[in-house]
Structure 1
Amino acid sequence: MNWADRTWSELPSDLAKSSHVAILPIGATEQHGPHLGTGMDFVLADKLCRAVAAQTGVPMLPTLPYGCSLGHSRRWPGTIALQPITLITVIKEIGDWAYHSGVRRLFIVNSHVTNAAPLRCALEMLRAEHDDMMVAVINTATISERVRLAHFSDAQDWHANAAETALMLAEAPEIVRTELIPASDDPDRTEGLVFSHPVNRTSLNGVTGTPSLARVEQGRELFAWMVKDLSALVERGKSEEAPLDQSYFERAGE
């Protein structure tokens, strides 16, 4: 159910069969320490959403490989960051065009933490313009409680940690430098801080967490949980209706 593989004559039927639901994966291109490739976030978003699309029969829009990664600074090469306003605009315009192709229920699946605020802004804009469109932003690390616990097991402000490293060992080993994993651990220095600091001020090597704890078997299990739990959310979204059928644009009493 890859949107890019379908033709204009096929997509209307695809969307009708899926209750007009579509999935939009959003990632990032940014440093992930010395042991993981810069594409980790968008690789995860793409692989996860492909698996969910296959399981649910819901079309998946092409994955966006860039995100709001300003917090990773220019200390380490490899990060390609969008300004928040740019990401808001891109997602709003993708959503507009998806709407005019027949999408009425849009799952934005985000695999990079600091994309969340711009994506929420885009959600607000889309639902304010399209009264019959429902939009959800799902962050991959918090799809469910078991997924959240796995991601946060070694760091609250995690990045390139045990969970992410295990996921890539299981699903994209070609972007993992296994020989560098043992020396890549760097502790979470954010606990108790009042301000949100960029990564150059919280990490020595771009990592936050303990990738040396990663095991491929854990990555396979975690990925399976993510597919199952996200698929369940998408299935619920196929039939969800707003609690009240009241127009966004009409005043009460009219």
Structure 2
Amino acid sequence: MNWADKTWTEIPADLADSHGIAILPVGATEQHGPHLGTGMDFILGEKLCRVVGERTRVPVLPTLPYGCSLGHSRRWPGTIALQPITLITLVKEIGDWAHHSGVRRLFIVNSHVTNAAPLRCALEMLRADHDDLMVAVINTATISERVRDAHFSDAQDWHANAAETALMLAIAPEIVRAELVPTSDDPDRTDNLVFAHPVNRTSENGVTGKPSLATVEDGQKLFSWMVDDLSEIVEKGKREAPPLDHSYFHRADLVKPTSANK
């Protein structure tokens, strides 16, 4: 169900079979401490969406490997960050062209936390331009309550922590520097703070949490939860209709006064 592998003669039939659904994975390229490769976010998003796409028979658009990573600063090499407006524009234009190809239900699956605000803006713009397009932004770390609990188990302001390290040990061990995992723990310093500080002011090494707790088994379990729970959401999306079938572009007829409401 990889969009990029399909020809223009095949995509319409795939979309008809999927109830007009397509999935767009959006990740990031950024430092993930001394023990994880910079592609962690987009690798997770791509692998997750590929499995879910096959299970649900839904086309998966090519992954966006860059995101809004400005908060990671320039302290550590490796981060390639987009401005929020750039990400908004990219996703909006991708959505416009996907709609032209027949997509009517778009799942934007976000695997980098601070992409959430720009992606929400893109969602608003797409809905305003395309009356027959439904859009959802799903954040991989909070797909479900059990997935959220696993991600937040060792830190509230987590990054490259036990959950992310376990996931990579399970699905992309080639980007894990196993010998550095035991020494990469760094505490969450954000408790009771008023302001949102960049990572250079909250972490010594780009990590927040305890990657030393990560195991392959935990990563396998967490990834299976993410696949199951995202697949369930996508399947639900195949059946969903707007609560009311009102046009975005046309005003409702004005209610004429009657003797009851004069």
What value does the CA root-mean-square deviation take over the aligned residues?
Answer: 0.5
What TM-score results when the alignment is normalised by the length of structure 2? 0.97
Instruction: Tell me which residue corresponds to 2:231.
Output: 231
SS of the residue corresponding to residue 225 of structure 2 reads helix
Match of 2:259 in 1: none
For residues 142 and 170 of structure 2, the distance between their equivalents in structure 1, rounded to whole angstroms, comes to 19
Q: Where do 1:84-163 residues align within 5 Å?
A: 84-163=84-163
Alpha-carbon separation, structure 2, partners of 1:157 and 1:126: 30
Q: Once the two structures are superposed, what CA deviation does each residue of 1:25-45 show, in whole Å capped at 9, x if it has no partner?
A: 000000000000000000000
Report whether the alignment pairs 1:28 with 2:28.
yes
**1:10 aligned residue:** 10
Superposed, 1:162-181 pairs within 5 Å as 162-181=162-181
What's the CA shift string for 1:62-94, capped at 9, x where partnerless? 000000000000000000000000000000000
The residue that corresponds to 1:53 in the other structure is 53
Deviation at 1:204, TM superposition (A): 0.1
Separation in 2, partners of 1:157, 1:110: 17
Residue-pair matches, total = 254
> What amino acid is aligned across from residue 53 of structure 2 in structure 1?
A
List alignment gaps of at least 5 residues for structure 2: 255-262
TM-fit CA distance, 1:8: 0.1
Sequence identity (%): 81
SS at match of 2:243: coil
**C-alpha separation between the residues in 2 aligned to 1:54 and 1:252?**
42
Question: CA–CA distance in 1 between the matches of 2:92 and 2:225?
Answer: 30
Task: Write the distance in 2 (CA, Å) between the matches of 1:101 and 1:191.
Answer: 46
Letter paired with 1:216: V
Q: One-letter code of the match for 1:214?
A: A
- Structure 1 residue 107, shift from structure 2 partner: 0.2
Cα shift at 1:112: 0.2
CA-to-aligned-CA distance 1:170-190 (integer Å, 9 cap, x gap): 000000000000110000001
Secondary structure at the counterpart of residue 253 of structure 2: coil
Q: 1:237: how far off? A: 0.2
Q: How does 1:176-187 map to 2 (within 5 A)?
A: 176-187=176-187
> So what's the TM-score if we normalise by structure 1?
1.00
Q: Secondary structure at the match of 1:46?
A: helix
User: Over residues 94-119 of structure 1, what are the superposed CA-to-partner deviations in whole Å (9 max), with x where a residue is unaligned?
Assistant: 00000000000000000000000000
- The aligned amino acid for 1:136 is A
What corresponds to 1:43 in structure 2? 43
Contiguous gaps of at least 5 residues in structure 1? none
AA aligned opposite 1:240: E
1:221 partnered with 2:221: yes
For residues 171 and 107 of structure 1, the distance between their equivalents in structure 2, rounded to whole angstroms, comes to 22
Residue 247 of structure 2 aligns with an amino acid whose one-letter code is S
Matches of 2:182 and 2:195, distance apart in 1: 30
Following the alignment from structure 2 to structure 1, what is the Cα–Cα distance between the partners of residues 211 and 106? 33
Q: Cα deviations across residues 190-246 of structure 1 (Å, max 9, x unaligned)?
A: 111110000000000000000000000000000000000000000000110000000
Partner of 1:188: 188
Is 1:69 matched with 2:69?
Answer: yes
| Larger Rg over CA atoms | 2
Structure 2 counterpart of 1:246:
246
Letter in 1 for 2:229: D
Give me the whole-angstrom Cα distance separating, in 2, the residues matched to 1:201 and 1:151.
22
